[in-house]
């Protein structure tokens, strides 16, 4: 049996991109793999969130995982900061990571923008901590959206560097698992940029916590074009926003984009948007209602996080001791 590790930053309400790119896949994969689903709160520190906000967001992320179908009897849910071994391994791995590898990271370039000199060291070293997240559990499969592929590839490179440096076959190289149908959900306002928690416009994304009226409003306001839907995706290549909405519908209804285009050929977007809203509400409303229940019961959330943390801590500390032995540190 393989072992999954994946995580989401608790930097705001989780959205449709997080759901289709990651969580939905986790729910399916947890049946076949031992699964560790982390709330990567240490990564979230790179944007210096307010303390009460961060604490609330950690519990909200846990409630979202649970409401979306992560089963705490099967899988482990925990905050990254509960397991110190992530940071200890990150230091060890940082000593094996050439700066040149980090300089290639697209996400750092995007997040640091023109202010590279002012960006913090945490943001720069972020992918090394991400590699440690996965490798401390000897994770074999990492279900993610397309934007995280480069980071998982770096984790593979770092794992290989460790094995070569210490002449061992300790780390297996983790596989990124990316679902083709929803690898990159785009903003509802701009089909060329990714749907993201950090977009200043709330209308750019659908949150898993949005009520049906809010979903309907956001979809009504979503950018499209006046042309009707074409019978195949190739004919819509340049209509980015239109294609994004069709892709969301396809992913939510487990159909190919080709099938959705042929089903809606000739239909205009005002009609299609109503169908998309119905689909979104039918998937998200039950999740939202379960989330509300969990959030009213923080003791249950905390107990689930504690159980997940205990399991994660014991596996991570066992691996950390093996790693210490390999590299010449004294075991504890």
The only residue of 46, 148, 209, 309 in contact with ligand TYM, by rule CB under 6 A: 148
Residue 176 as a binder of ligand TYM (CB under 6 A): the answer is no
Whether 197 sits among the annotated catalytic residues: the reply is yes
Which of 47, 54, 82, 147 is in the footprint of ligand TYM by CB under 6 A? 147
9: contact with ligand TYM by CB under 6 A: yes
CB of 185 to ligand TYM, least distance (A): 4
Using rule CB under 6 A, residue 8 touches ligand TYM: yes
Q: Which residues contact 330 (CB under 8 A, 6 or more apart)?
A: 324
Nearby residues of 185 by Cβ (< 8 Å), 6 or more positions away: 16, 17, 20, 21, 145, 194, 195, 244, 247, 248, 251
Residue of 17, 49, 79, 247 interacting with ligand TYM (CB under 6 A) = 17
**CA 10/CA 86 separation, integer angstroms:** 17
Closest by CA to 14, choosing from 75, 66, 51, is: 66
Q: Is 153 in the site for ligand TYM (CB under 6 A)?
A: no
Instruction: Tell me the closest approach of the beta carbon of residue 239 to ligand TYM, in angstroms.
Output: 18
Q: With b meaning 16 or more CB within 10 Å and e meaning fewer, what string describes 57-85? A: bbbbbbbbbbbbbbebeebbbbbbbbbeb
Helices (H), the chain: 16-18, 24-29, 41-44, 51-68, 85-94, 99-103, 106-112, 121-135, 149-165, 212-221, 240-252, 257-263, 269-295, 298-327
Contact 259, 287 (CB under 8 A): no
92 contacts ligand TYM (rule: CB under 6 A)? no
Q: How far is the CB of 324 from ligand TYM (least distance, A)?
A: 22
35 is an interface residue for ligand TYM by CB under 6 A: no
Q: Which is nearer to ligand TYM, 130 or 230 (CB)?
A: 130
Residue 74 annotated in active site: no
Q: Is 246 in the site for ligand TYM (CB under 6 A)?
A: no
Among 60, 197, 218, 273, the active-site one is 197
Contact 11, 47 (CB under 8 A): yes
Q: Is 259 tagged catalytic?
A: no
Nearer to ligand TYM, 190 or 211 (CB): 190
For the annotated catalytic residues, the residue numbers are: 111, 194, 197
Q: Which residues bind ligand TYM (CB under 6 A)?
A: 5-9, 17-18, 20-22, 40, 43, 130, 133-134, 142, 144-145, 147-148, 151, 182, 184-185, 194-196
């Amino acid at each position: 049996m393989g072992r999954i590790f994946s995580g989401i930053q608790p930097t705001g309400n989780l959205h449709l991109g997080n759901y289709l790119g990651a969580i939905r896949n986790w729910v399916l994969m947890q049946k076949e793999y031992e699964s560790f689903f982390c709330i990567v709160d240490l990564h979230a520190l790179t944007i210096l969130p307010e303390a009460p906000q961060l604490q609330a967001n950690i519990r909200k992320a846990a409630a979202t995982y649970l409401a979306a179908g992560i089963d705490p009897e099967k899988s482990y849910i925990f905050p990254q900061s509960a397991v110190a071994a992530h940071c200890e391994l990150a230091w060890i791995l940082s000593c094996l990571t050439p700066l040149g590898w980090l300089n290639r990271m697209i996400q750092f370039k995007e997040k640091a923008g023109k202010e590279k000199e002012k960006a913090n060291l945490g943001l720069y070293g972020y992918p090394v901590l991400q590699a440690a997240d996965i490798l401390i559990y000897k994770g074999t499969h990492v279900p993610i959206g397309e934007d995280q592929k480069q980071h998982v590839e770096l984790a593979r490179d770092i794992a290989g560097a460790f094995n070569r440096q210490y002449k061992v076959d300790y780390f297996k190289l983790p596989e990124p698992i990316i679902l083709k149908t929803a690898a990159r959900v785009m903003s509802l306002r701009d089909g060329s940029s990714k749907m993201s928690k950090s977009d200043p416009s709330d209308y750019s994304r659908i949150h898993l916590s949005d009520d049906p009226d809010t979903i309907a409003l956001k979809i009504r306001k979503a950018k499209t074009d006046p042309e009707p839907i074409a019978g195949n995706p190739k004919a819509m290549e340049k209509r980015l926003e239109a294609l994004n909405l069709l892709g969301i519908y396809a992913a939510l209804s487990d159909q190919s984009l080709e099938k959705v285009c042929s089903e809606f050929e000739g239909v205009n977007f005002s009609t299609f948007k109503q169908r998309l809203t119905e689909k979104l509400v039918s998937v998200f409303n039950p999740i939202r209602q379960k989330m509300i229940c969990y959030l009213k019961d923080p003791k249950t959330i905390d107990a689930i996080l504690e159980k997940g943390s205990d399991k994660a801590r014991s596996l991570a500390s066992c691996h950390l001791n093996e790693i210490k032995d390999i590299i010449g540190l004294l075991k504890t």
